[in-house]
Chain A
């Protein structure tokens, strides 16, 4: 194994250790337990109040709503972890000693990315899986394609943290987190606006969502995840208006879109490493 590859691994493990030692894991776990507890209570009430058929349809929508909460926690967590770990280390001088070692800057940045991707991806998969179990216990609903859904959620987290990584090579730690989360929110809203446009048959408004999903693939992957988690009968029940509803998705992402998302991540990573390699420390 080359020294650069090994260095990438060392930095990735270091990033994971940082997440653990800085109590990010603890904070996320506490938030998640809180969210799961509230969701479990809500689903249990849902199961008690509605007939089993109604409960299934309602549960699949509420599941998507709670998953959105989870993905928001993951987005905030990784975006605000990425800033300090890259921009913060460069600003404070901690990166000086590390980068004076025989380590390529690209190896350093890829190591950070890998560590954050493993951390964010694992978190969102574990938390979302736990939520599915809670729903199964409360109302007996199991999503049609949980594996695809979990992977798409992890993909969404990776896309967002890659964006945060790029930003952190250029701006201050705090600004990179704020801008990344802001863009994530803006794309989601654009997606909702686009959905309303489709439902109303207005192509111009619908294009807002399509364009934003290409520019930042978080919303496209999120909609794919929702599609994998929701009950197909919910779509039928909503009919034409389903597209306008923010917590239902009418289609799963095409292979081309998944490929684009992978290319997007590779491209942004390349820009980030190039920018970082040119940076004066």
Chain B
């Protein structure tokens, strides 16, 4: 289903996407923060939200949760209109600006959120959540004495306490050290295993690349690109060190994909293969090497060049108009 279609036409709240929004707009005084954003996160799907500072990521997240009122557009959260508080019953949220009552203890903050969520979460389970984020020993300490990193860990425990079906993490590692970041990554992977949907806003592209099924890139309040990692990073390249390249060999290279040459280094862009046919790259690389050798070319090195998400992101953001690789949002493959 594409973000344009109204999801209630297809199913009940239980089967509808974790979140769906259509044509969101928001203006803060003279600044148009969000122009026209439509996106969705399917049940059990982990979606990364990427984009430069000021792209409108946090504003979009707040509109998805009913914390900011959009000027226009529609949001369905777990199948219900977002202005219905019950829509938020299955949601866990770690805000970018994480701050918890400094005069409560960590365990009291978690208990407060369990109570407000309406779910009955036994005390042992609440303690497990604190232990999961590495605060097992600090449950009885006041939040006021916590470092920023510990408060962010507490925020993660709070987001997870009510057994959510959809977790929204806005910059969940901004205050964390490398160990903390790895912990968050493990938590997100664990959520994915349990079938919990996650919307992850992060500047750490490597983190997003490792845990997300799909990525939405926002730029200046618009969706600049969206798709699965395979779709966004679909174009892979092959770098070959060759000598004795004949005209016939050149033709063979060109038949594989667009070729660039720099001295003895030849780079071939492999056109994207149909989904599900990527395991051995369709046997194209071995066939190419075999054919080149048969044509008398000396093959010194063959090296696959992977386009990283970071390169793709920079490519999309620096060449917003008419970039050959840019996949406008309306072309997004349906899932």
Contact of A94 among B62, B65, B99, B117 (CB under 8 A): B99
Nearest chain-A residue to B97 (Cβ)? A93
Which 8 pairs between the two chains have the least Cβ-Cβ distance? A93-B97, A21-B103, A100-B93, A101-B116, A96-B95, A102-B89, A93-B99, A102-B85
Contacts of A4 in B (CB 8 A): 85
Contacts of A7 in B (CB 8 A): 116
28 pairs from A and B in contact (CB 8 Å cutoff):
A3-B118, A4-B85, A10-B115, A14-B101, A18-B103, A21-B103, A96-B93, A96-B97, A97-B94, A97-B98, A97-B113, A97-B155, A97-B158, A98-B113, A98-B116, A100-B65, A100-B66, A100-B67, A100-B91, A100-B93, A101-B117, A103-B116, A280-B28, A280-B62, A280-B68, A280-B69, A281-B62, A281-B67
B88 contacts the other chain (CB 8 A) = yes
B112 contacts the other chain (CB 8 A) = yes
CA of A100 to CA of B92, assembled, Å: 8
Name the prevailing secondary structure of the A interface residues: helix
Find the residue from B69, B98, B103 having the highest chain A CB count within 10 A: B103
CA of A6 to CA of B118, assembled, Å: 9
Contact of A18 among B87, B101, B115 (CB under 8 A): B101
CA of A17 to CA of B108, assembled, Å: 11
Q: Are B100 and A101 in contact (CB under 8 A)?
A: no
A34 contacts the other chain (CB 8 A) = no
Instruction: Encode A22-58 as 1/0 by CB contact (under 8 A) with B.
Output: 1000000000000000000000000000000000000
Q: Are B99 and A102 in contact (CB under 8 A)?
A: no
B254 contacts the other chain (CB 8 A) = no
Contacts of A207 in B (CB 8 A): none
Contacts of A14 in B (CB 8 A): 101, 112
A99 contacts the other chain (CB 8 A) = yes
Nearest chain-B residue to A107 (Cβ)? B85
* Size of interface on A: residues with Cβ below 8 Å to B: 25
Contact of A100 among B86, B88, B97, B112 (CB under 8 A): B88
Instruction: Encode B49-83 as 1/0 by CB contact (under 8 A) with A.
Output: 00000000000001001111100000000000000
Instruction: Encode A150-168 as 1/0 by CB contact (under 8 A) with B.
Output: 0000000000000000000
A254 contacts the other chain (CB 8 A) = no
CA of A59 to CA of B232, assembled, Å: 84
Known: A10-B115, A281-B67. A97 touches B85 (CB 8 A): no
Name A78-92 residues within 8 Å CB distance of B. Answer: 92
Nearest chain-B residue to A23 (Cβ)? B103
Find the residue from B28, B89, B113, B115 having the highest chain A CB count within 10 A: B115
> Closest Cβ of chain A: how far from B273's Cβ, in Å?
42
> Closest Cβ of chain B: how far from A152's Cβ, in Å?
32
With A98-B116, A99-B67, A102-B85 known, 20 other A-B pairs at CB within 8 A are A3-B85, A3-B118, A6-B115, A10-B112, A14-B101, A18-B101, A21-B103, A22-B103, A92-B97, A93-B99, A94-B100, A96-B67, A97-B93, A97-B158, A98-B113, A101-B117, A104-B85, A278-B69, A280-B68, A281-B67
> Closest Cβ of chain A: how far from B121's Cβ, in Å?
13
Instruction: Encode B147-165 as 1/0 by CB contact (under 8 A) with A.
Output: 0000000010010000000
Nearest chain-A residue to B102 (Cβ)? A94
CA of A96 to CA of B96, assembled, Å: 10
